[in-house]
A and B are shown apart, each in its own frame.
Chain A
């Protein structure tokens, strides 16, 4: 009798253990959501974009960001010292290069070992690598998932980012400035007539565009364009991506004044060449007139403060004669180098350069984006300088310090005639001549062939037989030489 009782008991225990074992997944999940007499005070308590409740006792101090937009925004909020790690697809600002990189596709132990108190992800990472994210949570790290899909969600996202990092005030200030800049641009473009009709290509697969809720659609509106695909319907609820298709684009062929294609690693639109050779696309007005803009996805669709730059870029592209007016430089004053950079980029209506995620994986002989010590990313005309360099319009300088090359631009320095000749030649399609005008003083210049061509063609003039390569040029001289091209 006793034996039987023991046996029953044993079997019952085994059964209970078995049930617990089989049900361990659901039990664990349930326990995750139970607070065991949790009496701690949470100053931060909200639901993130993966639908998880986030509770923190105070702002984070050791942050790892695994998404490039979060990284960029953390830097914008002045959190340089709190960022202890970044992801593998970052490209901006250049300061990220000093931070250790972490990959959500590799071992979560590496992240855990860095001892962060906050890891920022996006829902995509949670879906792709749930085990990685679970491992972080189980080790006690707060993981917060953000992704503002539409332009309306951007403010909430930035405020929540400010909340978890203790930068609420900074976040508010930044948002205020952000909206002021956007509003100022809208003010500038609102009375422009006629307004141009724009098609925005977000991907060349099935020729996708964006919905009116997207960041890009707002950029088109604020830049003074009319989104010709405003009837586009999202591929899934909550998404801002919409399939449009060649047929519908071609139906509106003669109404599309401007064609914008978003370029990036994933989900990219076509480029100038591929768009122009698509069957039937030569009937599109914008293609016929060459009014196509390639824009880096990072400044037009990514949820960062650089949306302002992307929006401004669209306005420059749509209405160059208004936005890229260079008449303010038409003076008798010497043109300094930063003014020159702005003038050249505006004159050429050159889209500003923004690096892609692969940019810093290569080494560059000349200048590397973001590396000028006198042109930090906070510098007001940072983009003009970087773009002038990227386009080869201007060059920077290097000096040796502590066995390291320091790059600088010499913002205040004068632009010389020698330097200007090189830039000018890029803008022209001049075929060098075989018969030459004699020039006395250019034997030391690296740009002899160029100066000779410009003088032979009468674009630049000699001063008493001399070219005076080291003389500074005035704004008026530069503009007058550039105008000869037209």
Chain B
């Protein structure tokens, strides 16, 4: 009898469990494009919005939503520009409330670093609220990703003479994903870009660690390029600014001729398409988490 009661209880629980699946509208599907964000409206159009547009074109059956991870950017946009952008929590809450059945979260981050982890931690709390919830990978995840990005960068790097170099400015992070910059640097060298260097603002290698290499190599002319989604604050100020601490002025003070290139990676069609491809992998179960 006891066993019978336990069986009944178990069956009830299982049935209840089945019945309590997420209460969603099966026709509603969304791709949430998550970017760090920028308060520079013009570059936002060329990079983040262009990437979102690539999703609109690739997935006409999905609603394309936007979230930013940088709360400071969100606050500035709200206060200064009257533009409301959700953070991830808010965007996910809305999707849940609107009873979406399937949600693909695709970050437009360069690597799977701290921003990515923080984003994933918020998204994963909503696991029970959708029939399908997946997260796409950051730009540089697989070996193929590095190849695709290098291929896309070829045009802007151009032909370099023996005494000419390109130095990319990556953001860099305390997170172990910081290794992506060194991996990129090595791969560039292996692809024959001997005079193309990766340096970071706050990761490894730092500008101070890379600049002496240029000197040792007999480089005379350096072109600085952002290795960031948008050519925003860092590119305008820390890289190409006219102030004493910018990379441009520091290189000039070391005796190099310096050029700057002011376009973010997000402007490259190949990069936009790679994010779309990462979303697709996630849909097909090859992404980060479900």
- A interface residues with partner B (beta carbon < 8 Å): 203-205, 266-268, 270-271, 273-274, 277-278, 350, 353, 364, 366-367, 389-392, 422, 425-426, 429-434, 447-450, 452-453
Contact = CB atoms under 8 A, between A and B. Distances in A.
B257 A390 contact: no
A426 B79 contact: no
B42 to A, nearest CB: 4
B249 A204 contact: no
Interface stretch (B24-32, B123-131, B181-189, B240-248): B240-248
Interface in B57-76: none
Nearest to B46: A277
Given A425-B255, A434-B163, A268 B243 contact: no
B238 to A, nearest CB: 12
Given A431-B220, A434-B220, A273 B262 contact: yes
Contacts of B40: 271, 273-274
Interface magnitude class on chain B = 20 to 34
B243 A449 contact: no
19 contacts: A205-B81, A266-B80, A274-B41, A274-B42, A277-B42, A278-B42, A350-B242, A366-B245, A391-B242, A392-B243, A392-B249, A392-B253, A425-B252, A426-B252, A431-B257, A432-B221, A434-B163, A434-B220, A447-B255
B82 interface: yes
B257 A270 contact: no
B155 interface: no
Interface string B113-145: 000000000000000000000000000000000
A433 B215 CA distance: 14
> Which of B79, B81, B231, B255 has the most chain A CB atoms inside 10 A of its CB?
B255
B129 to A, nearest CB: 35
Contacts of A267: 80
B18 interface: no
Given A274-B43, A389-B244, A432 B256 contact: yes
Contacts, number: 78
Contact of B249 (A273, A426, A453): A426
Interface in B21-54: 40-43, 46
Contacts of B255: 425, 432, 447-450, 452-453
A205 B236 contact: no
Contacts of B6: none
B71 to A, nearest CB: 15
A426 B80 CA distance: 36
B1 interface: no
A392 B81 contact: no
Contacts of B253: 392, 422, 425-426, 450
Contacts of A450: 253, 255
Contacts of B42: 270, 273-274, 277-278
Contacts of A277: 42-43, 46
B5 interface: no
Contacts of A425: 252-253, 255
Nearest to A434: B163
A432 B222 CA distance: 11
B124 to A, nearest CB: 33
A485 B194 CA distance: 33
A344 to B, nearest CB: 13
B216 interface: no
Contacts of B245: 364, 366
Contacts of B16: none
Given A270-B42, A273-B231, A448-B255, 15 more contacts: A204-B41, A205-B81, A267-B80, A273-B40, A273-B42, A273-B236, A274-B43, A277-B43, A364-B245, A366-B244, A391-B242, A392-B250, A425-B252, A434-B163, A449-B215
A391 to B, nearest CB: 6
A367 B220 CA distance: 28
A214 B80 CA distance: 20
Interface in B176-226: 215, 218, 220-221
Contact of A203 (B80, B244, B249): B80
Contacts of B236: 271, 273
Interface in B62-112: 79-82
